[in-house]
Amino acid sequence: MRGLLDSELIERLFFTAIVAGVLLAAGGAIRYVMIQNELSTNMAARIHGEGGEVEIESKRQAQGLMASDIERRRLVEQQYNVMTVAGLGLALLGLGWLGMDIIRGRRRAANNQSIDSSS
């Protein structure tokens, strides 16, 4: 009886890991796309992506580009963090899936063994 309760608890933990992994991966993917959309409207990101140089005509333009570049750096950092979270979600998903597969295999083997012994 104790082994059955432990097995059910472990199975619930693996299922929880699967659900948490899916949520983290999906949330990370959605946030990544949102950040990418913000980056597409950022002037410094566009200039950086084109590899171009800008001739600054006024102090106001320079300040605007500096602010835009600070925002671009913040968004890129957030993007890296989101990729880490989504990767953790995929790792949890894989761990939970593997654990559930092992538990099902052991349960199947135990059922086959009990059927063989009763015959």
pLDDT, mean over the chain: 89
Number of Cα atoms under 13 Å in the Cβ half of residue 43: 10
Which residue do the tokens 């671009």 mark? 72
| CA-CA-CA-CA torsion sign (101, 106, 107, 111) | positive
Q: How confident is the model at residue 4 (pLDDT cuts 50, 70, 90)?
A: low
Q: What is the pLDDT of residues 36-90, one digit of tens each?
A: 999 999 998 888 888 877 788 899 998 999 999 999 999 999 999 999 999 999 9
Give the chain's radius of gyration (CA, Å): 25
